Structure 1
Amino acid sequence: MGLVVATVLTTALTIWLSLGLYDQREADQRRQDILAAARQSALNFTSLDYRHYDRDSANVLDGATGDFKKQFAAQTEELTQLVAQNKSVSEGQVLEAGVVRSDAHSARVLVVADSKVTNTAAPKGEARTYRLQLDLVHRDGRWLTSDVEFVG
């Protein structure tokens, strides 16, 4: 009888630990997916070139959703003219990113990014650092940016 109880307990413990390990792997994968999407979104947002701004803005829109996508799309024509007029080029680089909170459907990520900006006012370039808070939502198997805020 003792052997049967020990076997049942061992089996139950093994199943319980396996499920916990699976949940942990799933959470780790979700975190990696969220960070990859946030980094790409921040890179797209901080990298632009007046010579192919249509492509650059399309990259931002491809990773966006909701009000953020609508607002960015509504400003694209005006931004295209402004970027071309000033011959703006911004080369972004993500330095750090961290998940503040996440669940299966949404996440908030803080990102620190640098960029070197050249334009008619700063032809030799000007370094800029951005601290961004990105809200992401999981839609159709992808993490998409639903809001971007510049923070302290």
Structure 2
Amino acid sequence: MAEVVREIRPWRQRILPAVAVVLAVALVAVATLLLLKLDDANTEEADRQSALQVARQVAVDLTTVSKDTAQGDVDRLMAVATGSFKDQFAQQADVFRKVVQQASVTSKGTVAEAGVSGVDGDTVTVLAAVSATVQNSDAPSGEQRQYRMKMQLQHDGDRWLVSDLEFVP
């Protein structure tokens, strides 16, 4: 009987450490994968928040204009524009600036709410509700206006640019 026990022990002494090593390696691999997934999720959320912040600023910039700063207002918007938004805004920039100056427009916008409605690779879609107080030659004491915007932002290097913007009902 003692001989049987001796034969079993060496087998256990070889297998149990091997099983422990395999389990430890598997545990390290699973922990590494989980940490990588967590890092990806954090990066994705940071990208969403960054795009949302840019969209909020563009909404404010688009609704905060003045006859005295019209060219700077246009330049500020062109600096964050790309794609079809840049093309369309560039075509209308002179008209925009002239209308603001000729009608003595002063507008101050604020974002009431904004949120990411979709993410598709390097493109983020943002919806924003904006309020603005607009003064012009027709409303010298100012009028309250509400806007809803849908923006698509494109990741370009280390920044987000607006590639499409539309006012929605």
TM-score class, shorter: over 0.9
Match of 2:63 among 18, 40, 46: 46
Opposite residue 126 of structure 1, the aligned amino acid is E
Whole-angstrom distance in 2 between the partners of 1:22 and 1:6 = 24
Structure 2, unaligned stretches of length 5 or more?
A: 1-17
The alignment covers a number of residue pairs equal to 152
Whole-angstrom distance in 1 between the partners of 2:104 and 2:37 = 54
Whole-angstrom distance in 2 between the partners of 1:26 and 1:145 = 20
Opposite residue 20 of structure 1, the aligned amino acid is K
Equivalent position of 1:127 in the other structure = 144
TM-score (norm 1): 0.94
Matching of residues 69-84 of structure 1 within 5 Å = 69-84=86-101
Structure 1, unaligned stretches of length 5 or more?
A: none
Equivalent position of 1:145 in the other structure = 162
Greater gyration radius: 2
TM-score (norm 2): 0.85
Report runs of 4+ in structure 1 exceeding 3 Å deviation: none
Whole-angstrom distance in 2 between the partners of 1:8 and 1:25 = 26
Give 3-state SS (helix, strand or coil) of 1:51's partner: coil
Whole-angstrom distance in 1 between the partners of 2:104 and 2:128 = 26
Q: RMSD of the TM alignment (CA)?
A: 1.2
